[in-house]
């Protein structure tokens, strides 16, 4: 909603709107203002090219060498003796709502002499600054859900981790594509496969929309599309489970 002309539109459609508002530039703009591209939530319909790529040990070692040769910092990836690898990922926090953190132990001067009762948990809420970025050092087997937990611990956020979701962001053909990562996906593996370019792949922490949905408000074609998406999500979940058990079975057979 613009405060100058009262025009209302969806934030993903804003780049398509062309209005000559007389208000001051940048007023009411919730984004950075330098990203005039459309955002498209790909979810399960358009998976990343590298999502299903499988690498053997030699390919992993070669990819790590190529990755390290392309970066201009000391945030290298390293191969461990057990075949896993470690490295850094950068996560941008784009949170619209305030987060809850423990209240400071320092008592304000106005309340000095008013001791707080023992056992009372104190908490406060605040908005994280726009553009907040955090680098995390993780392993190749670190899951997306563990990355979320680590980020919340870094900022001492005490909200339920299920309130948040990790997204991968990519740019292609002047469009921004977002896809929510599954809990078991490995962000460092995606980083290695995509390379160090932030345009090719970057990570964003956003709120996880978990509210109740009024399905009666949708048309029949929309409901059919939702059913198709659910079917694809179910098939992908089953595929990941089968892959996990196949890996366990293979390791047991190798041990035998």
The whole-number pLDDT of residue 18 equals 57
* Residue 123, strand partner residues: 102
Q: How far apart are CA 140 and CA 121, in angstroms?
A: 36
* Helix orientation angle between 187-194 and 57-70, rounded to the nearest 10 degrees: 70
The whole-number pLDDT of residue 6 equals 55
Distance between start and end Cα atoms, the chain:
65
Residues of the chain with pLDDT under 50: 1-3, 22-45, 105-120
Beta strands 38-41 and 175-180 are parallel
Query: What is the 8-class DSSP label of residue 30?
Result: -
- Dihedral angle over CA of 127, 131, 137, 142, nearest 10: 70
- Dihedral angle over CA of 169, 170, 176, 178, nearest 10: -40
Residue from 180, 131, 132 nearest 154 by CA:
132
CB-based contact 182:240 (threshold 8 Å): yes
The whole-number pLDDT of residue 67 equals 94
The whole-number pLDDT of residue 213 equals 64
Q: How far apart are CA 212 and CA 152, in angstroms?
A: 25
SS3 1: coil
Burial of 191 by CB count in 10 Å (0-12 exposed, 13-18 middle, 19+ buried)? buried
Domain 39-101+121-212 matching CATH 3.10.20.90: the answer reads: yes
The whole-number pLDDT of residue 203 equals 95
Q: Which two tokens stand for residue 109?
A: 């001067």
The whole-number pLDDT of residue 45 equals 42
The whole-number pLDDT of residue 24 equals 44
């Amino acid at each position: 909603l613009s405060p100058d002309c009262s025009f209302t539109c969806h934030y993903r459609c804003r780049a398509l709107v062309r209005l000559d508002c007389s208000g001051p530039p940048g007023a009411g703009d919730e984004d950075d203002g330098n990203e005039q591209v459309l955002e498209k939530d790909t979810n399960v319909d358009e998976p990343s090219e590298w999502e299903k790529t499988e690498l053997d040990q030699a390919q992993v070692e070669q990819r790590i060498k190529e990755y390290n040769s392309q970066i201009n910092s000391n945030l290298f990836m390293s191969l461990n003796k057990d075949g896993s690898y470690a490295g850094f990922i950068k996560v941008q926090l784009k949170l619209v709502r305030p987060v809850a953190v423990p209240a400071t132990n320092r008592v304000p001067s106005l309340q000095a002499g008013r001791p707080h009762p023992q056992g009372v948990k104190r908490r406060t809420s605040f908005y994280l600054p726009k553009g907040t970025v955090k680098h995390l050092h993780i392993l190749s087997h670190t899951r997306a859900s563990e990355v979320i937990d680590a980020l919340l611990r870094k900022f001492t956020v005490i909200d339920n981790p299920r309130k948040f979701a990790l997204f991968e962001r990519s740019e292609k053909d002047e469009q921004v594509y977002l896809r929510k990562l599954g809990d078991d996906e490995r962000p460092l593996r995606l980083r290695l496969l995509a390379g160090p370019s932030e345009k090719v792949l970057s990570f964003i922490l956003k709120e996880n929309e978990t509210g109740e949905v009024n399905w009666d408000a949708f048309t029949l074609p929309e409901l059919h599309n939702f059913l198709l998406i659910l079917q694809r999500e179910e098939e992908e979940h089953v595929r990941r489970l089968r892959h996990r058990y196949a890996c366990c079975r293979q390791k047991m057979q190798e041990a035998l």
